[in-house]
Structure 1
Amino acid sequence: MAAAVSVVRSGLQVMVGRTTLAANGHNIKPSTFGITNGQASILPDFARRPPIVDPDDHHLQVNLGPATENVLIAAAACFQADEVAVTPGN
């Protein structure tokens, strides 16, 4: 599952940068961000998965919600318009 955040104005790189500064449960930030055509994609980063504490990748997937919320908070702080669309992933 991926979350896409569309931003009308510039500053998407700044917002994604601010988003990656936010902490998570194990502070490993198992998400990867991509920017294409004015959208930020948030995907699970299986290279940073914590297999000992998350053997079924539940937390890896659940982390996408807070990562999306962090982008929205950063968008509001940057006075950017925002829209979230959750699309099925692999």
Structure 2
Amino acid sequence: MTTVHDNKAQGRYELTAGDALAVAYYHPQDGCLVFTHTEVPRALRGQGIASRLIEGALDDARAQGRCVVPACSFVADFIDRHPQYRDLLR
């Protein structure tokens, strides 16, 4: 598994696992990243790939000094379960 990569041109964070690609779509708005959808290929589900992807995306948002708007339910649930990321919420 590789590291989480911000594909700014596509407006998504990416995590490659084998030949598959998990993505978390976002768009920048008022200095924040608005996460709209997380997608993990069916073959990779249940392996923690989505959590690793979102953790990397949120760590990157923090490093950039950006806040986060979790319009995606998976991102919102992840932040609820990981209080260390609540400071990123707008």
TM-score bracket, shorter-length normalisation: 0.3 to 0.5
- What is the TM-score when the length of structure 2 is the normalising length? 0.44
Give the number of the structure whose alpha-carbon radius of gyration is greater.
1
- What is the TM-score when the length of structure 1 is the normalising length? 0.44
Higher relative contact order (CA 8 A, sep 6+): 1
More strand by share: 2
